[in-house]
Chains A and B, each alone.
Chain A
Amino acid sequence: MNMIVTPASPATPNGTTRPQVRIVIVGHVDHGKSTLVGRLLHETGSLPDGKLEMLKAVSARRGMPFEWSFLLDALQTERDQGITIDTTQIRFRTNSRDIVLIDAPGHAEFLRNMITGASQADGAVLIIDALEGVRDQTRRHGYLLHLLGVKQVAIVVNKMDRVDFSAERFKEISDEISAHLNGLGVKPTAVIPISARDGDGVADRTDRIGWYKGPTVVEALDALEPARPLEALALRLPVQAIYKFDDRRIVAGRIESGSLIAGDEIVIMPAGKIAKIKTVESWPVTPVAGRQGAGRSVCITLDRELFIERGDIIAHVSAAPRETRRLRARIFWLHDKPLAKGDQLLVRSGPKESRATVVEIEKAVDPGELSSVENKAIGRNHVGEIDISLSNPIATDPYTENPRTGRLVIEVSGRIAGGGLVLSVDAGQRAVPVDIVPVESALRPDERSARYQHNGAVVWLTGLPASGKSTLAKALERRLFSNGGSPILLDGDTLRAGLNSDLGFSAADRSENIRRLAEVATHLARNGHIAIVAAVSPAREDRAAARRIADTAFREIHVATPAEVCEDRDPKGHYKKARAGALASFTGIGNDYEPPQAAELVIDTSTRTVADAVDAIEQMLKATGVLFDEVVDLAANI
C-alpha cells in the first residue's frame, strides 16, 4: 500500500519533476521522532481529510490528552490492517521538494537497520530532547551520519516547552552537538528549537521562540539538496563484469564519478594498462554517442584486447586512482565479535574484493560515550580506525577525494560486518600475507627476560656512512653479551650480502631493505633478544615504517658524527669513490640524509670514546625499560 498521502509523483505523465529528497530522522529513543513525523505530516498538509479530527475525538472520548505520536501509531495500525499507510517509506511535500522519509530505528539494537536506512538518505534530521540533552545514541547517530557520508544534517532541539523555551538551554545543546559534529567534519545545516507537540519551530517561528532567527524544520527540509551524481570528479568506472554474448567483448559497470565518451584514453587500474574507449554499447539501440555521466550503468568496448576483470577501475590516464595493498580506514563495526589486530577479513571496494588482515587498530571507541576510552578492539556498534593489509592490490581513493570509491565494506563469513571510509592509501606499503598461521614460541617472554636480564628490543643505529654505527653496534653487542644478555647484530651491509642481495639502492629498494631489517629485528625482539641494527637508513619515512613495525620495542639512536669527520674517516673508501663519481646513490656527500627529529639518543662519535658512547646507550636502555636495573630485578625475583 502506498503511503503517498499527498501524492508524490516524481515521474508524472507530463514529465514535470520536483526534486525528490530522501531523509532520515535519527536520534535517541524517546526524543520525539514520532511526534515530529506526525506534526510534519500535519503541517505539510499531508494527512488524509478528517484524520486529525478523528484522532482528537478518539483521544477525548478515552479521556486522554492527544499526542501527535498517536497519529503514527494509528497509521501503523491501519497499515497492519492493510488500509492505508506504510510507515517505513512516508512521503510528503514541502514547497519545492518531495520528501521521502526513510525508516531508521533509534534503538541501539537495530543499528544495522539504522545504517541500512540512513545510507540511502540525502539528508538527516538529528533530534535531541531539550531536557535530556545530547545522549549516547545522539552522539552515535551523529558519528554514523559522518561515516555514512550524509553531509546535510539539520539538528532539531525538541521539547523546548519543557525548558520554558530557554534560549540559554538551546545554546548549550546547540554548542555541544555542533562541537561534536564539527569534530567529525560535519557542519549542521541548521540547529532549530522546536516543540513538535505544540508546533513551535516546525512550520512557524512562534513568539515563544521569538529569539530564534533561523529556518523552521519545514524550511530546512525544503533547502535540502537531492543527491547529485559526482560528475565533476575524476572518472571512476568500476568494472562489474565482462560480457561476451556475441563477437563484442563488453566491459560493464556503473560510472561512480566523472564522465566518459567514445575515444577517451583510459587506464585500467590496478594493472595500469592503457586503452582507448572504442564504443559505448547499449540496448535496444547501440552504440550510443554522446557523453555518459556519473550514475549511469554503461557498457564499453575497448580498442585492444586486454586482460581486464571484475573489480578493476577504469579512469582517465591523467587522473588515475592509487594502487595499494595497504590502507587506513575509519569504520563502524556491526559484528558480534569485536574486530581485533590480526583478524582476517574480506574487504569490498565497489565490485573489487580482497582478503585482508588487520595490521593495527587505532582509536577504537564507542561513539556514544563522551569520554573516548580507547580500546584494543572495535566492539559491536563501535567505531575505530584500522590499518589493513590486502592480499590483492586494489585501486582506490581517499574518501576526501572521492566519496564513492573512497569507501569500503567488510565481510565476515559472507555477511556484511562493517564499513567505512578510506582515510589514506599507503602506496608504498607491502601487504602482509594472509595465509600465514604464525607459530607461537614455546617459551614465555618472562622466561627469557629472567635469563637475559633484559626485555627484547630493536636498537636502531642510523647515521651517515662512516659515522661509527658498526663500531658502536659491535661494542654494544659485546657489552650486553658480557652482562649475560642476548644481543644480535644486524648490519645493513652484511644483510645486503644475503637476505637483501636482490635489492639495489633505488628509493623503493632502500625502503624494502629497511622493512626487511625491521621485520627480522622485530622478530628477534619479540623473542627476547636485543637486535642491534646498524644501517644508514637515510629516509625518515623508512625509519618511521621500521618504528611502526617494531612498535614499542623500537629505540632509535642517531649517530650524529659530523659529515666532514665521516668523510675523513672513510674506512671503506666509499666517499672517495663517490666524489670520483664511481658510486651512484651514495648517501653522505649529497643532502639526502634526513636526520631523526625525536631519536631516543643522539651520539657524536667525534667527541667521545666508544666505551663512553656505549655507557650512554646502556643508560638509555635502562631508562626506557629494556635493561633491568639490578635492584629492581632482584626484588622482582624474590
Chain B
Amino acid sequence: MHLLRSDSGADGLGFTAPVSEQIPVAQTAPSMDHLDQLEAQSIYIFREAFARLKKIALLWSLGKDSNVMIWLARKAFFGRVPFPALHVDTGKKFPEMYRFRDHYGKEWELDLRVEPCPPIDAVDPTLPPAARSAARKTEGLKMALAKYGFDGLIAGIRRDEEATRAKERVFSPRGLEGNWDVRDQPPEFWDHFNASPPQGAHLRIHPILHWTEADIWAYTKRENIPIIPLYLAKDGKRYRSLGDQDITNPVASTASNIDEILIELEQTKVPERAGRALDHETEDAFERLRVAGYL
C-alpha cells in the first residue's frame, strides 16, 4: 500500500474510527494508482512465497530491479527481509556495485550470503563466450542451491525485458537440475500459484514479473530507493542494465536523474538489454541459458 504522507501524521496512533455500521456506504478508501496496484500485487506474491515454501532466498544482483524487490520485501515484512539475500558473485561486477552491496547489506540488515562462481573452465564450452561467462552464474547458483537446500529462489525478472521471460509464470517450477521446461508449464491463474516443487527441485518466484522498466524507475523515485550511480548518465553514457563488467556496455544517454530516465524510456526504441552482450550472440543463446536455469 502506498502511504500518503498526509495519511500518517502524528495523530495516527490516537485515531479512533467509527464502527462499521456507522460508516456511510458512500465513504470510500483513497483509490490506488498504477504503482499502488503493482506494489500490492508484489507484496501478495512475497507473502505467498514466505507462507508456502520452507526455505527461500532472494537473489540480489544489486541492480535496480532487485533493489526494488528488497524494498517490496521490507514492505511485506515490516522492514525486515526474513530470508537470506543471496549474491551469486562472478567476481567481475563493477566496483560501485560491490560498494553498494557492502553498504546496504548492512544498512538494510540483510542476511547476506555471497556465493562464488566456479572458474570458466567448468562451464559448457559450446556456448558463445559471453553466454559462457554468464553460465558461470548458473553454475554458482546450482552450487549455492546444493549448499543451502533452498526450495524457492526469489528473482527479479520482468516480462517486458526479454521475450523468453515473458513466458514465465510467477511461481515457476524448476527441474531437479534447475532446468526450466517452458513447454510444460503448469496453469497459473487468479493468484493461485503452484508452490509444490518435487522433492529436491526448487521454484523460482518472480514478484515483479508484471512490472515494466518504467514502473521500476517510477517506483524507485517515489519510494526514494537508493540506486547505483552507474545508471545515471556521465559523459553522454549510462548503463540501463548492469551485469558483469566485461559483458555489459553503456548506452548513449544524457539522463542524469530518474525523471530524465523516464522521459528517455518514453522515446527509446532500443531494448533494455541491448547492452548485455550475452543476449545477442546467437538467436537461442538466452533461451538455452534459461532452460538450463539462468535467471
Picked from A83, A88, A261, A264, the residue with its CB within 8 Å of the CB of B271 is: A83
- Within the assembled complex, what's the spacing in Å between the Cα atoms of A299 and B258? 31
Inside 8 A of A115's CB, which chain B residues have their CB? 187, 189
B33-41, B86-94, B121-129, B146-154: which one contacts chain A? B33-41
Query: Do residues A296 and B267 form an inter-chain contact, with CB atoms below 8 A?
Result: no
Complex contact B43–A10 (CB within 8 A): no
Interface of A is mostly: loop
Asked if residues B7 and A288 are in contact (CB atoms below 8 Å), the reply is yes
Q: Which of B16, B35, B213, B280 meets A82, CB within 8 Å?
A: B280
What residues of chain B lie closer than 8 Å to A3, measured between beta carbons? 160
Tell me the bound Cα distance from A113 to B30 in angstroms.
35
The minimal Cβ–Cβ distance linking B121 to chain A, given in whole angstroms, is 28
Contact between chains at B13 and A287 (CB < 8 Å):
yes
Q: Which residue of A lies closest to B37 (CB)?
A: A295
Contact indicator B20/A265 (Cβ below 8 Å): yes
- A283/B75 in contact, CB under 8 A: yes
Please measure, in the bound complex, the distance between the C-alpha atom of A116 and the C-alpha atom of B168, giving whole angstroms.
Answer: 11
The 0/1 profile, CB within 8 Å of B marked 1, for residues 50-84 of chain A is 00000000000000000000000000000111111
Q: Tell me the minimal C-beta distance from B130 to chain A in angstroms.
A: 12
Whether A419 touches B159, Cβ cut-off 8 Å, given contacts A84-B269, A240-B48, A240-B51, is no
The residue that B19 contacts in the complex, of A264, A282, A284, with Cβ under 8 A, is: A264
Could you say which of A263, A279, A282 contacts B3, with CB atoms under 8 Å apart? A282
In the assembly, what is the distance between CA of A288 and CA of B161, in Å? 35
> B263 at interface (Cβ–Cβ under 8 A)?
yes
Give chain A residues whose Cβ lies under 8 Å from the Cβ of B21.
265, 318
- Shortest CB-to-CB span from A301 to chain B, Å, is 12
Chain B residue contacts of A13, Cβ below 8 A: 218, 221, 258-259, 262-263
Asked if B163 and A88 sit within 8 Å, CB to CB, the answer is yes
Asked if B40 and A254 sit within 8 Å, CB to CB, the answer is yes
Chain B, range 156-209, C-beta contacts under 8 Å to A = 159-163, 166-167, 169, 185-190, 192, 194, 196, 198
Question: Separation in Å of the A87 CB from the closest CB of chain B?
Answer: 8
Tell me if B19 and A263 are in contact (CB < 8 A).
yes
Q: Say yes or no for B252: interface residue by CB 8 A criterion.
A: no
Q: With A245-B80, A295-B37 in contact, do A86 and B263 touch (Cβ < 8 Å)? A: no
Closest B-chain residue to A12, C-beta based?
B262
Also in contact, A2 and B272, with CB within 8 A (given A240-B51, A295-B37, A407-B190): yes
CA distance A290 to B7 in the complex (A): 7
What are the residues of chain A within 8 A of B19 when measuring CB–CB? 263-265, 276
A316 in the interface, Cβ–Cβ < 8 Å?
yes
Partner of B7, one of A81, A289, A351: A289
> Are A88 and B192 in contact (CB-based, < 8 A)?
no
Check B160 against A10 for contact (C-beta < 8 Å): no
Stretch among A153-161, A408-416, A528-536 lining the B interface: A408-416
Q: Which residues of A contact B36 (CB under 8 A)?
A: 295-296
Is B161 a contact of A1 with CB atoms below 8 Å? yes
B82 → A minimal CB distance (Å): 7
With an 8 A cutoff between CB atoms, is A262 at the interface? yes
Among A7, A120, A254, A419, point to the contact of B192 (Cβ < 8 A). A419
- Which positions 22-58 of chain B face chain A at CB distance < 8 Å? 23, 27-37, 39-41, 43-44, 47-48, 50-51
Cα A265 to Cα B163 in complex, Å, equals: 48
B29 vs chain A, min Cβ distance (A): 3
* Alpha-carbon distance A12/B217, docked complex (angstroms): 10
B273 at the interface (CB under 8 A from A): yes
Q: Does B111 contact A (CB under 8 A)?
A: no
Evaluate contact between A264 and B20: CB separation under 8 angstroms: yes
Asked if A282 contacts B1 (CB within 8 A), the reply is yes
Q: What chain A residues lie within 8 Å of B18 (beta carbons)?
A: 263
- A264/B78 in contact, CB under 8 A: no
B30-A11 in contact (CB<8A): no
Binary contact readout A108-131 vs B (1 if CB under 8 angstroms, 0 otherwise): 000011011001100000000000
Contact B32 A7 (CB under 8 A): no
B266 interface residue per 8 A CB criterion: yes
Q: Is there a chain B Cβ closer than 8 Å to A360's Cβ?
A: no
Cα A397 to Cα B257 with chains together (Å): 49
Contact assessment for B13 and A231 in the assembled complex, using a CB-CB cutoff below 8 Å: no
Asked if residues B79 and A287 are in contact (CB atoms below 8 Å), the reply is: no
Within 8 Å by CB of A11, from B27, B215, B263, lies B215
What would 25 A/B residue contacts be, using CB atoms closer than 8 Å?
A4-B160, A7-B267, A9-B265, A9-B266, A12-B262, A13-B218, A17-B34, A48-B269, A80-B283, A86-B162, A89-B160, A113-B185, A116-B187, A243-B78, A260-B20, A283-B74, A283-B79, A285-B8, A287-B8, A288-B3, A289-B11, A292-B1, A293-B32, A297-B1, A415-B194
Which 9 A-B pairs rank lowest in CB-CB distance, beginning with the nearest? A414-B196, A293-B29, A1-B271, A263-B17, A119-B189, A88-B166, A112-B187, A11-B218, A291-B29
Give B residues with C-beta under 8 Å from A: 1, 3, 5, 7-9, 11-13, 15-21, 23, 27-37, 39-41, 43-44, 47-48, 50-51, 74-80, 82, 159-163, 166-167, 169, 185-190, 192, 194, 196, 198, 212-215, 218-219, 221, 258-259, 262-263, 265-267, 269, 271-274, 279-280, 283, 286
Chain A residues close to B by CB (< 8 Å): 1-5, 7, 9-13, 15, 17, 20, 48, 79-84, 86-89, 103, 112-113, 115-116, 119-120, 148, 229, 231, 235, 240-241, 243, 245-246, 250, 252, 254, 259-266, 276, 279, 281-299, 310, 316-318, 334, 348, 351, 407, 409, 411, 414-416, 419
Given A13-B262, A112-B186, output 16 extra A-B contacts at Cβ < 8 Å. A1-B273, A2-B271, A4-B160, A7-B214, A86-B163, A88-B166, A229-B32, A241-B47, A241-B50, A245-B82, A263-B19, A285-B12, A290-B7, A291-B28, A310-B51, A414-B196
